Structure formats: C-alpha cells, structure tokens
Chains A and B, each alone.
Chain A
Amino acid sequence: MANTLFDKVWNAHQVVTLPGDVSLLHVDRHLLHELTGTAAIKQLEQRGVAIRNPGLTFATLDHVISTKPGRTAGDEDWSTVMVDTLREQTARMNIQRFDIEDGRQGIVHVIGPELGLTLPGLVIVCGDSHTCTHGAFGAIAWGIGSSELVHVLATQTIRQRRPKTMRVNFNGIPAEGVPAKDLILYLIGELGTSAGVGYAVEFAGPAIRQLDMEGRMTLCNLSIELGAKMGMIAPDEVTFAYLEGREFAPKGEQFDLAVESWKLLASGADAVFDKEVDIDVAAVKPQITWGTSPEHVASIDATVPDPAAESDLVRRASLEDALAYMHLQPGQRIDQIPIDHVFIGSCTNGRLSDLQVAARVVKGRHIAPNVTGWVVPGSLKVKRQAESEGLDQIFLDAGFEWREPGCSMCVGANGDFVGPGQRCVSTSNRNFVGRQGPGALTHLASPAVAAASAIAGTIAYPEMTGYKS
C-alpha cells in the first residue's frame, strides 16, 4: 500500500506515530514571511523556547512589503514596522533572510524553488496556504496556521493526521495556448472547490509530464483551491534539470546521490489511492472565472451561467449572490465584459515564463485607455531576468506599470487594492468576495488572457486582439 509518492515521503518523515493516524513529522524546510512569521517568532520568545533549527528555516518579505518602484520596506508605518521586525528577528536568530539588498527577495513560493531550497522528497511548511506550490517537485508541502508555526520553530516537527490520497490523471495533450493555469482551473470547475478536502492529491498523466517546472508550480499552486492543502507531482528529469546548479540545491556527488534517491519517489505501477479521477484535457479551452469562487469558472468563449438551472437551493443562492456581487447577468457573453484592471503576478503566475507569454501578447501594442495594468514579478531574480530580455520595456511601452516583487494585488495585504466596483482580470489564485480589496471584482485567468484583456479593454483571449502565436 505504501507505494504512492505521498506515502513514501510521509513515511520517511515520521519521527513518532501517534494514535488515530496522527504522525509527528520532521520538517525539512520552514519558510517564513513577515505577515505571519513576525508574530510567531514573538510568541516563541514569549514562551521562552529557542528555535530548534535556524539552519532549516528561511525567511523573505512578500506579503506587506511595498511593490512601488524604489521601495525599501512598507508603504505605511505599520507595514514598515512589520518588515523591519522580521529583519531584526531573523538577524538575531540566525535565520537566513532573502531581502532587497541581497537581490533574492520575492514571493516565498517563487524563491523557494528558484533558490533550490525546494527539493523532491522534502516536507516543507510555511504560514501560507499556497505552500502547496512546492509539491510540484515531489515534496509534501502545505500551509500552516500561527500556532503550528510556533510548534515548527520550537521542534522542527509538526503533528499531522494522515490525509487520504487522491490521484488526478490528466489525460490527453492540451491544445496550444492552453497552459497549466487553464488545466487546473478546468479541473476545479469540474470537481468543485471541496473535492480535495481531506486528501493529498497527486497530479499525473501525459498532460502533466509535458509541463515545464513553472507550469507544474502553477498547477500545484491551485491545489488548495481544489480543497487539497497538499498537491504533488512526481519528480522526473525535468525536475532534476531545473534543480541542478541552483544556489541551495546539492552539488556534485551529493546531487547525483540525491537524484538516485529522488528517482525512487514516483508512485509505483501498483500504487493504490483512496480515490482516482480521470480528466481529459485535449478539448480544454482558455478558462476564466466569472463568480466568487474558483469553481465558478468557464471557457472564455462561454456565457455567464444561469443560477435557475441549479436545482440545489443553497447552491443556487450562492450562484445568485456571486452574480449580484460581480454585477453580471445570466447569459451575458464573458468575452465582452469591460474591465478596469489587469494584474499579472503572484505565486501562481509571477514567474519568468508567465511574463514572457504576457509580453508576447502585448508587444508593440498599447493597453486600452480605461485599463490600469500592473506587472509584478514574483521575485527580484525573475525581475532581473525579465529586464535582461527587455520584457520590462515591452510592458512599459504598452502602458503597464512595472513594479517590485511581492504578493501585491493578489491579496492586498500591503494596500495594493483594486478599487470598489472595479473589475480586474488577475493571474492570481482567489476570486473571493473582497479578496483584491473591498468590493473588487476579480476574474482569474492565465497570463495570456490577462494580457489580451488589457489590450482589448474587455475580457478577451489573445486571438481576439489579432495576436497570432
């Protein structure tokens, strides 16, 4: 039975097994950010307990740090205090911090992989629900709360009830112009946002194997939006090639040794899962959300659904609430809805390949007059790479703002909000009520769709704006 990727990694980390399927698991990488990290460190110190393994703990600044050009900390007093507190705490506790001046600051789920901190077979936790992103490397990675942060700081372990296992087989090869974001949004639309509750999900199948690592990260990033706090992909040659030479990845003989061990992690041919789902992705079209949950998603050329078609009354009421909040009518064409904002960035789609795709769509053109467009690279490294390819100039020439790395308008913790009643096509991960600011109307989509929408001034896919791939 213990032959799934998940079981192999879980079993290798059990320090103690406790009654009721609870394990005390070793944590290999504990990633901290300023929004939840500062308070957890204070609480640890109030308890009078020392940090157990500062060398396995890593910090960056992403949630409340400013993304304005020229920023050094927060935009306001309270956020600057929070940023400076994490700087002071990490320096005092010998926790490695990736910051502006060392050129390695960025969104925690972008920098973990790009620095080679994220490796196959690890257990990785962070006080952020999108920690599932790191599962793209075959790690068990999930978001934890403040109390658990203190436990991990104090003991380098975490108590967890073993989840059930699910495998989602993505069959078929997606069409050109249908990236990982569309595949996972489509899956969430098919299964719903609670399908993964109680499960660790492995994503498998030919459509997953053909994805590069950045696509795999985008896909695993939205595991939590499927309800699964852990999502994983078995490591393969694509994974190993991505990791080789990264700053914190093993080097030389150690790397070869590690790869030999990582090759054994994939689920066996006879692996048994508590649940298996097959999904055919050959016919999937570009996706976009129309409502206030990631499961409120449709093909971009579809119309807004009619809640009256839903027989379950609670579900019907929630669809009606969603349309009322989003100021949309049943039957309305989605690809003609006028927009005010475009946000390209986040731990979902703020990596170099995302910016490359968006830049290709907007190159030589200008965003619509009433649209405010933001590009927020996921990390300083992504930003430098993009600038070396001239992508910043393409975005600036097209009328976008080119900002500094951070979570920014995905969550608005630093004050980067879409205004009330304003409509935003966003490459982020949550279209919840008020997520991008009170009264903000969010449509989740891929970078290509976001870029095309900025040009068109309405929700649009690239071909609608005359773009030829």
Chain B
Amino acid sequence: MRAFTICEGYAAPIMRDNIDTDLIIRVERIAKLKRGELGPWAFETIRYLADGAEDPSFVLNQAPFRKAQILISGANFGCGSSREMAVWSIEEFGIRCIIAQSYGDIFFGNCLQNGVLPITLERNQIDALAKVAASGATVKVDLHTCTISTVATGAIPFVFPETQREALLTGLDEVDETLKIVSQIDRFQQEDRRARPWAYTVG
C-alpha cells in the first residue's frame, strides 16, 4: 500500500452530507472499467451535464481545484455501497486526503487500504477550513504531527487511531503482515474446529 505522510495542495469543498459511493463512482463504470481507468468518472453524476460536458458549477471542474489533493465535505461521506472503486476513482483523480465530519464505515476502511487519509473534524472546524480552502489557499496535512495547516488558520490538530496511523505512515501491507502470523491462524482453526464443528464442516 502507498504510504501517507504529508500532503499539501488545494482542498476542494463539496459541502453536503451523505455523499454516497454511488455518487462517487457509478456502477456501470466499476462493472466495465479497470483500476486505473476510473479517475475521469469520479463524481460523474454531479461532474458532467447530461450532454457529457463538464458542469462548470461543480468544484472539481474549477481552477485550481482540478488539481485538488484534498476533499472537504460534511457528514457520512462515502456512505452506501462497499465498492472500493469509490476510493480508487478519487485517488486516481489526485485526492490523497479527505476531511469530513464523519464517514461511511466501509468507505473509511477502504481509504486505509489505499493510502488515502480520512480525517474527521467537528462541523464548525470543517466550515472554517472550507471557507479558507474555497478562496484557493493551499492546505497542508501532516500525519506525523496530526495537523492540518493553512496560512489563515494556523495548525489545526486532528485525532487518528494510532494503529491505523502507523499503518498509513509505513504503507503497511496487511496481507503480508497477516501471512507472517499464519501459524496463529492454524492454531485458532484447530481449536475452534473442536468447539464449533458446524462452522467448519459445511454441508
């Protein structure tokens, strides 16, 4: 997994609640396209008009946010479908960090799998940051110090679960890590099979 340490760039505010993963990437794109082809289709429903042209009112179609590395949004960002392609599509667009009031639980986990940092802040902090970001100021996110900085606001601290923070900082590969302790899985299954045979003898 790609590590996350520091990210500095433009931050695009999409200030609404309940941005669902269907809105982030449509199902026909995940069905027909491969990883690496999804970036142009991130936020398709609100990014393009019915004739396929860009909607100039959508923030990611506006300079300087075409190059945004950070998204700012409201509550329950990434709710709905478990499609990890939602994270892939925004990551392919260039987003490395999201700052929102809360996240869909599955989406949050999918971000961690892809080196995308999902930061949670209080609503009033988000509103203040969104205002600064909307003016085109750059935002710096530092996972070492757990701070978000702009010239106007100074450093805003954020809290991130320690185990996941370390995994992001090092770009930890969970599969490799777990395969190192496969003997413990072997032992667990041997004992558990005796306690709950019906869970293993299927059919």
Contact = CB atoms under 8 A, between A and B. Distances in A.
B186 to A, nearest CB: 10
Q: Which of B162, B164, B178, B181 has the most CB of A within 10 A?
A: B178
A413 B198 contact: no
A147 B198 contact: no
Interface string B16-59: 11101011001110111001000000000110001000000000
A146 B31 CA distance: 13
A35 B82 CA distance: 12
B115 to A, nearest CB: 11
A49 B35 CA distance: 20
A318 B15 CA distance: 10
Nearest to B87: A145
Contacts of B122: none
Given A145-B113, A154-B179, A197-B76, A317 B164 contact: no
Contact of B189 (A26, A122, A248): A26
B55 to A, nearest CB: 13
Instruction: Place the interface of chain B in its size category.
Output: 35 or more
Contacts of A122: 199
B82 A434 contact: no
B83 interface: yes
A24 B178 contact: yes
A341 to B, nearest CB: 18
B113 A147 contact: yes
A277 B185 CA distance: 37
Contacts, number: 191
Q: Which of A82, A295, A434 has the most CB of B within 10 A?
A: A434
B102 interface: yes
A105 interface: no
B202 A413 contact: no
Contacts of B26: 434, 438
A20 B202 contact: no
Interface in B162-203: 162-164, 174-175, 178-179, 181-182, 184-185, 188-189, 192, 196-203
Given A56-B200, A119-B198, A161-B164, A314 B83 contact: no
A407 to B, nearest CB: 10
Interface stretch (A250-258, A268-276, A330-338, A391-399): A250-258
Nearest to B162: A20
A434 B45 contact: yes
B103 A197 contact: yes
A156 B185 contact: yes
A18 interface: yes
A148 B109 contact: yes
B136 interface: no
Contacts of B103: 197
A60 interface: no
B38 to A, nearest CB: 12
A19 B22 contact: no
Given A26-B192, A155-B182, A412-B27, A194 B75 contact: yes
A249 B1 CA distance: 39
A218 B21 CA distance: 22
A240 to B, nearest CB: 13
A198 B32 CA distance: 32
Interface of A: 12, 15-16, 18-22, 24, 26, 28, 35-36, 39, 47, 49, 52, 55-56, 63-64, 78-79, 82, 117, 119, 121-122, 127-129, 131, 142-148, 150-151, 154-157, 159, 161, 163, 193-194, 197-198, 224, 227-229, 247-250, 254-255, 257-258, 261, 293, 295, 314-315, 317-318, 321, 411-413, 415, 430, 432-435, 438-439
5 contacts: A15-B184, A20-B164, A21-B161, A197-B105, A318-B16
Given A147-B84, A227-B79, 13 more contacts: A36-B84, A39-B35, A122-B199, A147-B114, A157-B178, A161-B163, A197-B104, A227-B76, A248-B202, A415-B28, A430-B81, A432-B22, A432-B23
